[in-house]
């Protein structure tokens, strides 16, 4: 159903500029993706605020929900730099977010969502020269929610800033999985060892690809228009 | 800004796009022309498009009819004009006067024949909306004398026949009934001229169906009055009932009103030219619903498929008939159903949807809506008595009505919320006041029995809407209501709205928007502090302060899980030896360990996930110890996050996800321990409030979601194996096929290990699902019809059901309101989970409800009544 108008859940021309898979493969991945890149966040917006809004697109009754949120951090200072990844359990939830949430406000800023190929460790760091996002390198305007252009944060936000600055001081570039599919707990021992070895599934995948991920993934913003 | 930099790929994309435009085939062009009909002035464009179609008609009939099909089903507001266009295509083209004698059918007829195939396809798939909109088109064409009256009557009768099917589901009957009803509303005048009895038979059949479904209405009415079975509500209307009322009114004047309800641009056109026969719609049979038999059933042997949308459909009214269309008037019904269709169809693009809604008046008869402010006076049509409605208020009523449909809206709540935001953005000065009025109306109705789930969605909408518009609300006008009982629905709403606003923003931001009176401590609206953690062992005076510090240090130092476990074991001994009096050492250890773990993960959602993922073995070990252990863990969470209920829900969700606790544990905990933050203590009479409901819903949805995922997995694996087997058979069955056939049956490979595991998982998950639902049912029964000896019995659970008590609600105290709200959540539990409850109705009913047999206790009767409606034992 979209002969008359364009559906809002179509992939845009956002892409991970450093992903090393061809266009077709990328499109296939996006057609199944349950991960979103979320941009234009305030530096002060917390994961709980993000959770509160994005959970509105969750479908727990279909086995869905917010799996995890990965806050984009300044590479050097380890403070939020205005983007994040939200991962759901299902693709349908990611599409719902594109239709219903992208382009609405969170923390009084209009946020933008894009389907993403999927988070890999290392991608949570800004790719700009100064450590933050590339777009903030070139920004000419004054934006109090993204660090102003100096240290002139609004008074009311000073307290929030202090908390924010401390929050991710311990970030080590390894993200939690968020919990996988339900598994039989009282399974026979042989099987259990096998499962343990693989679980949580995401981590297994990440370690294997970790080497490449670091080379592949740089700023998700570098190629947006 | 970096946005404008011309990237390579962007240029490439644009090239692609332009090339596509350039290469548009004549077929695509003609299709587009049909779809875009009327973007400027529809009446002027019709002859032009008709000419364009004629010029390119040769070989393009399928493309043309596809254009009509898309136009009709995706832009229903244009249907009368499409009927007009198609009527014109039945005329001979200029200079072609003679060709009719040659016997080739007119272009219009060819298109209609092809269009019919599309309709048949929609019907075969039971795409109800598309089917219904095609019927609108046929009805207009009947009025335009293109389609034969008798064949139109037959078509409508095929849909009416569905209402008589044995055991027809409500969803199917409702949709088929609407197809027949709306077709009749449009074409009734002509149809009745042909056959009075046929028309009356259709109306009677709908009436009989509506009456037979009466008792299911009480479960989904948006205003709850437990003492009475109300047939009709003052401020809400059921869709099929409205349609029936409209038909009766239309029929009483022989459908004279139709002409004031639907545009009929074709009405002055002459009859079809000589020699052209009217189109006879082929006869149809509405196909039965497809029931996928996957051979999987719950352990009761009952089918575990989930079927939704099986309820009467109530739409709330916020404004008077002078302001917004009356749903039981012909003109009002036409406008409302057209707007509802737009809201549904354009769900894929809320921004375009908002634009189309605001432009809708241009497709209606003149005088339907008040002119926009500032429109030149001489262009304004005469206001039509009984119409002249306010567009913005109408849109608010329609969108909010769709948001508040029970048990659940068609799309997620956030769609309707986002749609309202877009409507506001397009025309803030005219829509803003309509939003304000809607909020005030809804707020006022909170005191008069607005359903608890509708109230919850209202608070959700309010908070998200405000977060998109600078949190500007005039709270001052609600200050006098702070004198109401604390559990009064109005005060509950204010509390929840502020809580949700804070979650989307932050404490200080919202505090700034509230007047003094709402900020005051006694108002219980704004919490004193920002919602942070509350680590009870932080205080050096706490007897377990030192123990907690030692555990905390291990966690902070990223000690290995087994070292933590060893330390906890040694703490157990220490505490057991040194504590005075009766101390449940296991409980203390669980609380200390869980709270310490939450403490190291308290900085953010991710920190929390990292913390528990690292120490899953510790949590698993703490959780062994049966129900008591799980209850202790959940209690520790609720204590640690007692100032942040969002986090309680998040942590519970992840504890279920990591299988530390089961959904049933959370359901049980909610009834026995409740969060009780609003009630202040967990000692008073048990009750379920909106926050408790969120926890229950989280747990039940988790249980149901797991079953669904497991079911899909089994189905996929089975299919995979069937395919493999079929392939093996096909390749192996060559020479001695006869003998091999019998042998392969014996040799058939056994189920793969993966499938066996999947089936086993499905079985244990359905059994968990049943346990969780049963626990919830028992919990509600304990709240609502407790034995008087029960320590936490609410003495008002029976009383609030009476009419006398309801009329005295102005004097209710917190306990009466708590009991009333709990009844509301029980009602919602029954209808929201009815598809699941039905699967287990026999076992659950026998176990939990048996004790009420023969009871005359009004509370027991009410519980049974709601249960039997929800499980379909009473239609």
Q: Does any domain span residue B533?
A: no
CB contact under 8 A, A13 and B13: yes
Question: At residue B224, does pLDDT exceed 90?
Answer: no
The domain containing residue B327 runs over which residues?
Answer: 322-374+383-469
> Among B377-381, B615-619, B677-681, which range has the highest average pLDDT?
B615-619
Contact check, Cβ <8 Å, B35/A96:
no
Q: What is the pLDDT along chain A (225 residues), one digit of tens a residue?
A: 568 999 999 887 787 777 778 888 888 999 999 999 999 999 999 999 999 999 999 999 999 999 999 999 999 999 999 999 999 999 999 999 999 999 999 999 999 999 999 898 888 888 887 788 888 877 777 788 887 654 344 555 667 777 788 888 888 777 899 998 888 876 554 444 433 333 333 333 333 333 333 333 334 444 443
Pairing, β A112-116 against β A105-106: unpaired
Tell me what the mean pLDDT of segment B487-500 comes to: 96
Summarize the confidence of residues B381-394 as an average pLDDT: 89
- Predicted pLDDT of residue A220: 43
Report yes or no on A156 lying in a domain: no
Q: In the 8-state DSSP scheme, what is residue B297?
A: B
Across the interface, whether the CB atoms of B7 and A223 are under 8 A apart is answered yes
Of B469, B487, B506, the one marking the end of a domain is B469
What the block records as the tokens of B851 is 């004790």
Last residue of a domain, one of B469, B501, B525: B469
**Does residue B768 sit in the same domain as residue B866?**
yes
* B387: phi then psi, degrees, rounded to nearest 5: -125, -120
Q: Do B325 and B389 form a contact (C-beta atoms < 8 A)?
A: yes
Residues 6+ apart with CB under 8 A from A38: A50, A83, A84, A85, A86, A111, A112, A113
Check CB contact under 8 Å for A3 and B347: no
Chain B residues 708-767 with a CB less than 8 Å from chain A: 708-710, 757, 760-761, 764-765
Q: Is B9 on the interface with A (CB under 8 A)?
A: yes
CA B478 vs CA B445, B446, B470, B842: distances in Å:
14, 13, 19, 47
pLDDT at B227: 83
- With CB atoms and an 8 Å threshold, state whether B657 touches A140: no
Specify whether the CB–CB gap between B141 and B81 falls below 8 A.
Answer: no
Name residues 643-672 of chain B within 8 A of A (Cβ): 646-647, 650, 653-654, 657-659
CATH value at residue B68 = 1.25.40.180
Q: Looking at B438, B469, B500, which one is the last position of a domain? A: B469
A153 CB-contact burial (10 Å; exposed 0-12 / middle 13-18 / buried 19+): middle
For residue B719, the 8-state DSSP code is: H
Q: Examine residue B298 and state whether it is found in any structural domain, yes or no.
A: no
Q: Which of A16, A19, A40, A48 has the most B C-beta neighbours within 10 Å, making it the best mutation to test the interface with B?
A: A48
Q: Which of B14, B68, B606 to mutate to test the interface with A (most CBs of A within 10 A)?
A: B606
Residue A176 lies in a domain: no
Percentage of residues in chain B having pLDDT higher than 90: 73
Q: Within this chain, do residues B697 and B712 fall inside the same structural domain, yes or no?
A: no
Residues B106 and B216 in one domain: yes
Q: Give the pLDDT confidence score for residue A157 in this predicted structure.
A: 63
> By CA distance, what is B615's nearest residue in A?
A176
Cα Rg of chain B, angstroms: 32
Per-residue pLDDT, B827: 97
Is A52 close to B503, i.e. CB distance below 8 A?
Answer: yes
Domain-embedded: residue B783:
yes
C-alpha–C-alpha distance, residues B196 and B190, integer Å:
10
Q: Considering only CB atoms, which chain A residues are within 8 Å of B412?
A: 56-57, 59, 96, 100
Q: Please tell me which residue, B829 or A200, carries the higher pLDDT value.
A: B829
Asked if B467 and A56 come within 8 Å (Cβ–Cβ), the reply is no
Cα→Cα distances B361→B186, B390, B434, Å:
19, 10, 17
If asked whether residues B229 and B120 sit together in one domain, one would say: yes
pLDDT surpassing 90 at residue B499: yes
Most confident residue range from B199-208, B517-526, B844-853: B199-208
Backbone angles phi, psi at B128, to 5 degrees: -65, -45
What pLDDT is stored for residue B836 in this prediction? 92
Task: Please answer yes or no on whether B709 and A181 come within 8 Å at the CB atom.
Answer: yes
Task: Look at residue B463 and tell me whether its pLDDT is greater than 50.
Answer: yes
E strand intervals along B730-807: none
Range of the domain at A54: 23-129
Task: Return the pLDDT at A187.
Answer: 52
Residue B292's pLDDT band, with cuts at 50, 70 and 90, is low
Q: Let me know if residue A145 belongs to a domain.
A: no
A161 is a domain residue: no
Residue A67 in any domain: the answer is: yes
B841-866: average pLDDT: 88
Closest residue in chain A to residue B463, using alpha carbons only: A53
Within 329-348 of B, beta carbons closer than 8 Å to A belong to: 345-348
Cis peptide bond N-terminal to A200, omega within 30:
yes
- B653 in a domain, yes or no? yes
Chain A stretch 38-97, residues whose beta carbon is closer than 8 A to a beta carbon of chain B = 46-49, 51-53, 56-57, 59-65, 68-71, 96
B80 domain-assigned: yes
Task: Please tell me which residue of chain A has the smallest CA distance to B67.
Answer: A3
Task: Using a CB–CB cutoff of 8 Å, tell me whether B509 touches chain A.
Answer: yes
- Evaluate if residue B552 carries a pLDDT over 60: yes
Pairing label, strands A109-110, A105-106: antiparallel
Q: Which residue of A has its CA nearest to B504?
A: A49
Q: Residue A144 has what pLDDT?
A: 80
Asked whether residue B800 falls in the same domain as residue B669, the answer is no
pLDDT of res. B674: 76
Per the model's pLDDT, the better-predicted residue between B191 and B298 turns out to be: B191
- Say yes or no to pLDDT of B793 above 80: no
Give the pLDDT score at B382. 77
Q: State which residue of chain A sits closest to B28, comparing Cα positions.
A: A3
Helix (H) or strand (E) holding A47: helix A47-54
CA distance B63 to chain A (A): 14
pLDDT value, residue A195: 37
**Spatial contact of B679 and B689, defined as CB atoms under 8 Å apart:** yes
Task: Give the strand pairing for B314-316 and A80-88.
Answer: unpaired
Helix orientation angle between B561-578 and B545-556, rounded to the nearest 10 degrees: 170
Q: Same domain, yes or no, for B172 and B88?
A: yes
Interchain CB contact of A138 with B (< 8 Å): yes
Q: Enumerate the residues of chain B whose CB falls inside 8 A of the CB of residue A175.
A: 606, 610
Residues B708, A49: C-beta atoms closer than 8 Å: no
Short-list B546, B551, B548, CA closest to B564 = B551
Mean pLDDT of B750-768: 91
Q: Which of A44-58, B378-392, B852-866 has the lowest mean pLDDT?
A: B378-392
Task: Give, to the nearest 10 degrees, the angle between helix B413-426 and helix A91-100.
Answer: 20
DSSP string covering B301-366: SSB-------S--EEE--S-TTTS--TTSHHHHHHHHHHHHHHHHGGG-HHHHHHHHHHGGGGSPT
DSSP secondary structure of A132-191? S-HHHHH--S--GGGT-SSS---GGGHHHHHHHHHHTTT--S-------S---TT--HHH
- The pLDDT of residue B738 is above 70: no
Regarding whether B719 and B689 lie in a shared domain, the answer is no
Contact assessment for residue A118 and residue A94, using Cβ atoms and an 8 Å cutoff: no
Instruction: Say if residue B63 is in the same domain as residue B125.
Output: yes
Which of B417, B506, B760 is facing A184, going by the closest CB pair? B760
Chain B CB within 8 Å of residue A145 CB: no
- Record the pTM: 0.91
Chain B residue with minimal CA distance to A101? B418
Q: Which 3-state string (H, E, C) describes B630-698?
A: HHHHHHHHHHHCCCCHHHHHHHHHHHHHCCCCCHHHHHHHHHHCCCCCCCCCCCCCCCCCHHHHHHHHH
Q: Is residue B606 part of a domain?
A: yes
Q: Reply yes or no on whether the pLDDT at B752 is more than 90.
A: no
Q: Mean pLDDT across chain B, nearest whole number?
A: 90
pLDDT in tens, B94-121: 655 544 445 578 899 999 999 999 999 9
From B650, B688, B703, select the one nearest B829 (Cα to Cα).
B688
The predicted pLDDT at position B848 comes to 87
* Count of domains observed in chain A: 1
Question: Nearest to residue A40, comparing CAs of A97, A84, A94, A78?
Answer: A84
Q: Tens of pLDDT along B55-94? A: 988 889 999 999 999 999 999 999 999 999 999 999 876 6
B7 CB-side CA count, 13 A: 15
Residue A75 belongs to a domain: yes
In terms of domains, do B650 and B775 share one? no
B125-167 pLDDT, tens digit each: 999 999 999 999 999 999 999 999 999 999 999 999 999 999 8
Cα–Cα distance for residue pair A217/A213, rounded to 1 Å: 6
- The verdict on residue A103 lying in a domain is yes
Contacts of B581 (CB under 8 A, 6+ apart): none
CATH code for the domain in which residue A79 is found: 3.30.70.330
Q: Residue B528 — very low, low, confident or very high, per pLDDT cuts 50/70/90?
A: confident
**A56 CA: distance to closest CA in chain B (Å):** 6
Q: A220-224, B217-221, B777-781, B827-831: which range is least confident on average?
A: A220-224
Winning range, highest mean pLDDT, from A195-199, B232-236, B306-310, B586-590: B586-590
For residue B5, name the pLDDT band (cuts at 50, 70, 90). very low
Q: Is the pLDDT of residue B391 over 70?
A: yes
Average pLDDT on B334-355 reads: 98
Q: Is residue B50 part of a domain?
A: yes
Residue B724 pLDDT: 87
End-to-end Cα, chain A, rounded Å: 27
pLDDT tens per residue, range B610-648? 999 999 999 999 999 899 999 999 999 999 999 999 999
Number of domains chain B is built from: 4
Q: For residue B275, is it within any domain?
A: no
> Which range among B31-45, B215-229, B517-531, B650-664 shows the weakest confidence by mean pLDDT?
B215-229
In whole angstroms, what is the distance from residue B650 CA to residue B647 CA? 5
């Amino acid at each position: 159903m979209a002969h008359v108008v364009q559906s809002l859940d179509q992939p845009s021309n956002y892409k991970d500029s450093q992903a090393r898979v061809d266009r077709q493969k990328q499109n296939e991945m996006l057609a199944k993706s349950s991960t979103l890149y979320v941009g234009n966040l305030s530096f002060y917006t917390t994961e709980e605020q993000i959770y509160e809004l994005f959970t509105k697109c969750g479908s727990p009754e279909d086995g869905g929900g917010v799996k995890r949120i990965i806050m984009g951090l300044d590479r050097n200072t380890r403070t939020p730099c205005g983007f994040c990844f939200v991962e759901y359990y299902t693709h349908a939830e990611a599409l719902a977010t594109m239709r219903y949430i992208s382009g609405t406000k969170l923390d009084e800023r209009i946020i933008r969502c894009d389907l993403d190929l999927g988070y890999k460790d290392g991608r949570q760091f800004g790719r700009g020269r100064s450590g933050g996002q590339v777009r903030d390198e070139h920004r000419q305007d004054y934006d109090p929610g993204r660090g102003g252009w100096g240290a002139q944060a609004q008074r009311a936000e000073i307290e929030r800033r202090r908390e924010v600055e401390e929050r991710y001081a311990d970030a080590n570039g390894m993200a939690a999985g968020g919990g996988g599919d339900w598994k039989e707990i009282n399974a026979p021992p042989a099987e259990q060892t096998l499962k343990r070895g693989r679980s949580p599934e995401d981590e297994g995948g990440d370690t294997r690809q970790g080497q490449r991920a670091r080379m592949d993934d740089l700023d998700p913003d570098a190629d947006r228009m | 800004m970096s946005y404008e930099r011309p990237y390579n790929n962007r240029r490439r994309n644009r090239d692609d796009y332009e090339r596509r435009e350039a290469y548009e085939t004549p077929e695509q062009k003609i299709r587009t022309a049909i779809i875009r009909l009327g973007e400027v002035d529809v009446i002027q464009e019709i002859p032009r498009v008709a000419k364009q179609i004629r010029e390119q008609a040769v070989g393009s009939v399928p493309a043309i009819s596809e254009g009509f099909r898309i136009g009709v089903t995706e832009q229903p507001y244009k249907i009368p004009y499409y009927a007009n266009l198609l009527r014109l295509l039945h005329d001979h083209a200029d200079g072609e006067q003679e060709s009719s004698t040659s016997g080739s059918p007119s272009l219009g007829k060819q298109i209609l024949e092809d269009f019919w195939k599309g309709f048949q396809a929609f019907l075969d798939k039971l795409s109800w909306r598309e089917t219904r909109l095609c019927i609108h088109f046929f009805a207009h064409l009947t009025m335009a004398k293109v389609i034969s009256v008798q064949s139109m009557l037959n078509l409508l009768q095929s849909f009416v026949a569905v209402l008589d099917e044995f055991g027809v589901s409500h969803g199917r009957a409702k949709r088929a009934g609407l197809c027949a009803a709306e077709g009749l509303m449009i074409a009734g005048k002509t149809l009745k001229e042909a056959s009075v009895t046929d028309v009356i038979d259709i109306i009677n059949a709908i009436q009989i169906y509506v009456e037979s479904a009466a008792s299911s209405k009480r479960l989904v009415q948006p205003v709850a009055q437990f003492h009475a079975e109300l047939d009709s509500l003052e401020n809400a209307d059921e869709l099929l009932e409205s349609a029936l009322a409209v038909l009766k009114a239309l029929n009483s004047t022989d459908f004279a009103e139709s002409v004031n309800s639907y545009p009929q641009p074709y009405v002055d056109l002459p009859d079809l030219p000589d020699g052209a026969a009217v189109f006879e719609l082929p006869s149809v049979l509405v196909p039965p619903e497809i029931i996928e038999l996957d051979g999987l059933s719950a352990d009761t042997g009952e089918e575990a498929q989930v079927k939704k949308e099986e309820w009467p459909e109530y739409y709330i009214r916020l404004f008077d008939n002078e302001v917004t269309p009356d749903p039981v008037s012909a003109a009002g019904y036409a406008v409302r159903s057209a707007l509802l269709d737009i809201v549904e169809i354009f769900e894929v693009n809320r921004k375009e949807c908002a634009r189309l809604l605001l432009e809708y008046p241009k497709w209606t008869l003149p005088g339907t809506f008040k002119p926009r402010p500032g429109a030149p006076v001489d262009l304004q049509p005469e206001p039509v008595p009984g119409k002249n409605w306010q567009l913005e208020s109408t849109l608010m009523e329609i969108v909010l009505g769709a948001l508040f449909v029970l048990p659940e809206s068609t799309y997620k709540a956030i769609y309707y919320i986002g749609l309202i935001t877009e409507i506001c953005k397009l025309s803030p000065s005219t829509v803003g006041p309509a939003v304000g009025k809607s909020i005030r109306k809804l707020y006022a109705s909170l005191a008069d029995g607005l359903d608890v789930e509708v109230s919850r969605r209202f608070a959700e909408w309010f908070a998200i809407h405000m977060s998109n518009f600078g949190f500007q609300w005039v709270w001052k006008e609600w200050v006098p209501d702070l004198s109401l009982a604390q559990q009064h629905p109005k005060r509950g709403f204010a509390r929840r709205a502020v809580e949700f606003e804070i979650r989307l923003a932050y404490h200080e931001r919202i505090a700034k928007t509230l007047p003094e009176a709402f900020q005051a401590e006694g108002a219980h609206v704004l919490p004193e502090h920002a919602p942070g953690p509350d680590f009870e062992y932080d205080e050096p005076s706490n007897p377990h302060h030192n123990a907690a510090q030692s555990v905390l240090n291990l966690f902070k130092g990223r000690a290995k899980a087994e070292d933590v476990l060893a330390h906890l074991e040694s703490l157990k001994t220490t505490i057991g030896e040194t504590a005075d009096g009766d101390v449940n050492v296991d409980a203390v250890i669980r609380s200390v360990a869980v709270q310490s773990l939450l403490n190291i993960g308290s900085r953010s959602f991710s920190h929390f996930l990292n913390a528990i993922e690292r120490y899953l073995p510790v949590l698993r070990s703490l959780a062994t110890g049966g129900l008591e252990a799980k209850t202790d863990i959940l209690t520790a969470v609720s204590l640690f996050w007692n100032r942040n209920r969002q986090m309680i829900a998040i942590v519970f969700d992840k504890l279920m996800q990591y299988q530390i606790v089961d959904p049933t544990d959370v359901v049980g905990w909610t009834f026995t321990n409740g969060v009780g933050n609003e009630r202040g203590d967990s000692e008073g009479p048990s009750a379920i409030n909106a926050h408790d409901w969120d926890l229950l819903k989280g747990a039940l949805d988790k249980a149901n979601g797991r079953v669904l995922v497991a079911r899909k997995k089994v189905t996929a694996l089975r299919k995979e194996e069937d395919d493999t087997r079929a392939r093996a058979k096909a390749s192996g069955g060559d020479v001695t096929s006869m003998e091999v056939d019998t042998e392969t049956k014996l040799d058939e490979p056994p189920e793969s290990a993966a499938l066996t595991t999947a089936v086993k998982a499905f079985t244990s998950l359905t059994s968990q699902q049943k346990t969780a639902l049963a626990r919830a049912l028992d919990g509600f029964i304990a709240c609502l019809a407790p034995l008087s000896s029960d320590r936490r019995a609410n003495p008002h659970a029976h009383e609030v059901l009476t009419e006398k008590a309801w009329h005295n609600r102005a004097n209710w105290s917190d306990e009466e309101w708590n009991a009333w709200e709990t009844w509301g959540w029980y009602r919602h539990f029954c209808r929201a989970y009815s598809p699941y409850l039905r699967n287990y109705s026999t076992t659950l009913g026998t176990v939990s409800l048996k004790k009420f047999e023969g009871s005359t206790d009004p509370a027991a009767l009410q519980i049974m009544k709601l249960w039997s409606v929800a499980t379909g034992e009473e239609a």
